[in-house]
Amino acid sequence: MDTSIFAHSANKAGVWHPLREHLESVSSLVEEFTADFPWQKEAILAALLHDQGKAGRRFADRLKGKEKGLDHWSAGAWAALTVWRSVAAALAIQGHHIGLQSADRSYLRAIDPDKLLKQHPLKLRLTDDPSVTQDRFSQIISSIPKVETVIPQLGFGAMFDTRVLFSALVDADFLDTEAHFQGDESGKCYRARGSELNPEIALEHLQDHIDRLTRERAATSDQVVLQARSILWTEMKRSASFPVGIHTLTAPTGSGKTLAMLGFALKHAVEHNLKRIVMVIPYLNILDQTAKTYRDIFEPLFGEGYVLEHHSLAGSGSDTEAEDSENDRERARRLLSENWDAPIVLTTNVQILESLFANRPSRCRKLHRLAKSVILFDEAQTLPPALAVSTLAALAKLSNSYQSSVVFSTATQPAFEHLHGAVTNIYEAGWKPVELVSKHTELFSMLKRVDIEWRREPTAWNTLYCELSEHQQVLCIVNLKKHAILLTELFKDSGREVFQLSTSMCSLHRQAVLKTVRERLDRKEPCLLITTQCIEAGVDVDFPAVYRAFGPLDAIAQAAGRCNREGRLTVGQMVVFTPISETGCAERYLYPTHEYYQAASMTSLLLNESTTDNLDIYDPELFRAYYRRLFDLSRPESGKKAQVIKECIDAGNYAGLADAYRLIDQDTISILVPYNQSDFNVLVKEADEKGINSAWQKRAQVTSVSVFRPKREHSVWGVIYAAKTVYGGESEEWHILQKPEFYDPVFGFRPPDAPQILIG
């Protein structure tokens, strides 16, 4: 090793990473990522300055393992703030290790290295005297051109733009660092770039698939159902020429929304030169099904990388290592984070929405790739009401400033336009969606195919068990996982074969159960399926009879969509029942959350007001009234969460905003499970011998489950172990089940003290 200034220590080939090369490579990537953004030069400035502190003499010792606890980010952040007057660049530079913090003036003044020399709030040391660091940095980066700042200091728009700039910086930094550590004697080895969308070719291929599917279903599906799907497909192709913006897609269950909205997205991409499609799905089993459908359609034509499935909930917790990422575990966390470099991405509400408000590098890394995209929210009614106003504001900003179209698709369209005024208080554009389906009322009339019995008196579990036993094919949906387990075990004890779906099962397991269920339904063989509400939205199953525990009106309507879906019966039968509560248990505890209980109570109120003791779930206006009254009752714009979010926005408090905007309040981990023993053995061998990387993660997703991170003393730590990473150290997010008896063939992962950590 010579006396050069380095950014990173030696890789496995013994090659060190020069700081000049790293800064120039990161700035080139950032320039590419931000080509369409008005603040591109601020982003390039951040890239050139982000590791200025590594020019300090102590950092060379850090790379040799002789130092630790060094702050190498404040030097560049202070230069961006005082020389170039860019608050956004300063925050991004500081945040690329400790997360975006605050745009408050007093906080920004505290970045001054002279002050940090005397007392550092994180109890770290600078890498050198500030003047020495600057002199050494000038030896490798001799000049930086003048930059006109574009992003203001405060405001919702400023925070959003800063977060996207931060995303571009973090992604570029992580990609170049990864390329160094994956490199050899010949140089850095970058991961393969994502392929192009090629929407014209993909649309032709999708049209062929639709035509083939229609021919295959002609003999088994009702002609009215096929006609409704044809109308929706035609409507979607027509509306694809609409301008880029905010849209709603309102159509009944079973009308073919999943493929129709994909057709819209591809044609919309052709019309407006968009480069990515992001499908956002609330439940893992729907994501499994949709991902399989999309892969079956496109991978034979475009190959494996065309569809990216990112459903892991892991990584939503701490990401604030107050060091310099030469720590093996911290480096692994950053380099293993997903960046959505693929033409079609399927992900969850949690992943995309929390990222829009996140402040941590790993969570924000993918944000800049949402520009010039079509973002499809399937089953939009599942978006959390308490976060509705800030969510709509962020999506409106994404559409207006980053040339992306956002589509809210559902049979039970929330009346979010009712919140337009509240949204304008955060972001001036507000929420003014344009409906894509002009004939949606006609479609609902065509697809009335289920009669619903609304029971008022509570039903005992044994009574429900007896009723379900009388059906050859029946689906039962309950609100709580413990109720699903209780019912399932009643049937197991009686010797009747029963199937269950839950998030405690890995993706492959859920897919296998659904495949078996569909085959039995088609062959008219006995089939009893018990599940929580995770099956309701978008899962393609067709039962002649459905039982649904009383709940929110939209959930009941979605459950009806699993009954007589293909119109093979004159009418399907659905029973809405109320489970009998445990002795001394309040009604609220029949539901998973307070918001869920509140929505169920509004359904009960509407039912009591009805003159027919019935509610017409095929009337879109019923849902508009339901949501308007629900929003008036819950007042999401003035709730506690909304107030905290507004205060954080006004103060420019990025860290506080990230904490306030959480769909899941607890951090999670992913656990590789032995559902498919041969695949499990291969992945475990690779992890144990070589360590895991991003490619391993993608393969492991389908045989893993997500659980809330257990407390330190929880007994689950005795049955799992942390996976090693190729970058050294252990992963905090990925673990491996070492005792296969804790993965049940019916229930999935059943660890010790399961209720404390399983995701409902």
pLDDT tens per residue, range 139-198: 999 889 888 889 999 999 999 999 999 999 999 999 999 999 999 988 999 988 999 999
Rounded Cα–Cα distance for residues 361 and 336 (Å): 12
Q: Could you report the per-residue pLDDT of 31-42, keeping only the tens digit for each?
A: 999 999 999 999
Rounded Cα–Cα distance for residues 655 and 99 (Å): 7
Q: Where are the alpha helices (DSSP H) in 674-758?
A: 677-689, 694-700
Quote the pLDDT of residue 285: 67
Task: Count CB neighbours of 718 within 10 A.
Answer: 11
- Tokens 């009752």 locate to 633
Contact between 650 and 491 (Cβ < 8 Å): no
Is pLDDT above 60 for 742? yes
- Tokens 């491996």 locate to 736
Rounded Cα–Cα distance for residues 645 and 637 (Å): 10
DSSP H or E run through 457: strand 450-459
Name the residue among 154, 93, 160 with its Cα closest to residue 652: 154
Q: Could you report the per-residue pLDDT of 386-408, keeping only the tens digit for each?
A: 899 999 999 999 999 999 999 99
Q: Which amino acid is at 464?
A: L
Quote the pLDDT of residue 320: 46
Is pLDDT above 60 for 1? no
Q: What is the mean pLDDT of residues 546-575?
A: 91
pLDDT band of 315, cuts 50, 70, 90? very low
Quote the pLDDT of residue 318: 46
Q: What is the mean pLDDT of residues 333-358?
A: 88
Q: What is the mean pLDDT of residues 487-501?
A: 90
Is pLDDT above 80 for 573? yes
pLDDT band of 535, cuts 50, 70, 90? confident
Rounded Cα–Cα distance for residues 676 and 709 (Å): 24
DSSP H or E run through 217: helix 199-217
Is pLDDT above 60 for 378? yes
Q: What is the mean pLDDT of the chain?
A: 89
> % helix / strand / coil in the chain, to the nearest 5?
50, 15, 35
Name the residue among 9, 72, 7, 84 with its Cα closest to residue 46: 84
Is pLDDT above 80 for 589? no
Q: What is the mean pLDDT of residues 746-755?
A: 81
How far is the first Cα of the chain from the last one, in angstroms, to the nearest whole number? 53
Is pLDDT above 90 for 632? no
Q: Which amino acid is at 399?
A: S
Q: Could you report the per-residue pLDDT of 82-96, keeping only the tens digit for each?
A: 999 999 999 999 999
| Token digits of residue 444 | 């609902």
Contact between 134 and 74 (Cβ < 8 Å): no
Q: Between residues 332 and 534, which one has the greater pLDDT?
A: 534
Is pLDDT above 70 for 760? no
- Partner residues linked to 645 by β-bridges: none
Q: What is the mean pLDDT of residues 594-605?
A: 90
Quote the pLDDT of residue 668: 83
How far from 233 is each of 7, 242, 272, 356, 595, CA to CA, in Å?
A: 53, 15, 19, 31, 34
Is pLDDT above 70 for 556? yes
| Token digits of residue 55 | 């020019």
Q: Which amino acid is at 6?
A: F
Instruction: Give phi and psi for 529, each to the nearest 5.
Output: -120, 125
How far from 180 is each of 18, 185, 190, CA to CA, in Å?
A: 10, 11, 8
Name the residue among 527, 441, 539, 444 with its Cα closest to residue 491: 527
User: For the ranges 285-289, 380-384, 551-555, 738-742, which has the lowest average pLDDT?
Assistant: 285-289
Would you tell me the crossing angle of helices 284-302 and 507-522 to the nearest 10 degrees?
90
pLDDT band of 648, cuts 50, 70, 90? very high
Q: What is the 3-state secondary structure (H, E, C) of 368-418?
A: HHHCCEEEEEECHHHCCHHHHHHHHHHHHHHHHHHCCEEEEEECCCCCHHH
pLDDT band of 304, cuts 50, 70, 90? confident
| Token digits of residue 420 | 């337009």
Is pLDDT above 70 for 594? yes
Instruction: Give phi and psi for 596, each to the nearest 5.
Output: -65, -40
Count of helix runs (H) and strand runs (E) in the chain: 29, 23
DSSP H or E run through 522: helix 507-522
Contact between 91 and 166 (Cβ < 8 Å): yes
DSSP H or E run through 48: helix 40-49
How far from 635 is each of 388, 598, 643, CA to CA, in Å?
A: 10, 12, 11
Quote the pLDDT of residue 333: 61
| Token digits of residue 362 | 């790993």
Strand, coil or helix: what is 58?
helix
User: For the ranges 244-253, 530-539, 628-637, 709-718, which has the lowest average pLDDT?
Assistant: 530-539
- Partner residues linked to 547 by β-bridges: 476, 575
Is pLDDT above 80 for 568? yes
Is pLDDT above 80 for 5? yes
Query: Angle 497-500-502 (CA atoms, 0-180°, nearest 5)?
Result: 165
pLDDT band of 28, cuts 50, 70, 90? very high
- Partner residues linked to 500 by β-bridges: 530
Is pLDDT above 90 for 344? yes
pLDDT band of 540, cuts 50, 70, 90? confident
Q: What is the mean pLDDT of residues 520-536?
A: 90
> Cα 126 vs. chain centroid, distance in angstroms?
37
* Percentage of the chain lying above the pLDDT 70 cut: 94
> Cα 113 vs. chain centroid, distance in angstroms?
37
Is pLDDT above 60 for 327? no
DSSP string of 120-134? -TTS-EESS-HHHHH
Q: Where are the alpha helices (DSSP H) in 99-191?
A: 105-109, 113-118, 130-140, 156-181
pLDDT band of 715, cuts 50, 70, 90? confident
